[in-house]
């Protein structure tokens, strides 16, 4: 099993089963994960609606964290 930042992120979302698919589809960094949309989740194989919502919510939080950090400089 891959152990990287995306795996750790998915583990905190209680979705580590998708880690290998994320990495296989090029989502091996959180910066890349911030761009995930519905077509990407289809390609990765995330079909369960509440898993998709959980990932979308986490992506939104990643983007908000960036905006907050940008305001510090």
Instruction: Give the domain CATH number at 35.
Output: 1.10.150.50
Work out the percent of the chain whose per-residue pLDDT is above 70. 92
Residue 73 burial class via C-beta count within 10 angstroms: exposed 0-12, middle 13-18, buried 19 and up: exposed
What pLDDT is recorded for position 2?
Answer: 47
What pLDDT is recorded for position 66?
Answer: 83
Q: How confident is the model at residue 73 (pLDDT cuts 50, 70, 90)?
A: low
CA 42 from centroid of its chain's CA atoms: 13
Domain span at residue 26?
Answer: 5-71
When divided into structural domains, the chain yields a total of 1
Q: pLDDT, tens digit, for every residue of 14-66?
A: 999 999 999 999 999 999 999 999 999 999 999 999 999 999 999 999 999 88
């Amino acid at each position: 099993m891959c152990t990287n930042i995306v795996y750790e992120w998915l583990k905190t979302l209680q979705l580590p089963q998708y880690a290998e698919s994320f990495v296989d589809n090029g989502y091996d960094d959180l910066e890349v994960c911030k761009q995930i949309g519905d077509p990407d989740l289809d390609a990765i194989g995330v079909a369960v609606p509440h898993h998709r919502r959980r990932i979308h919510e986490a992506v939104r939080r990643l983007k908000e964290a960036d905006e907050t950090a940008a305001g510090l400089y």
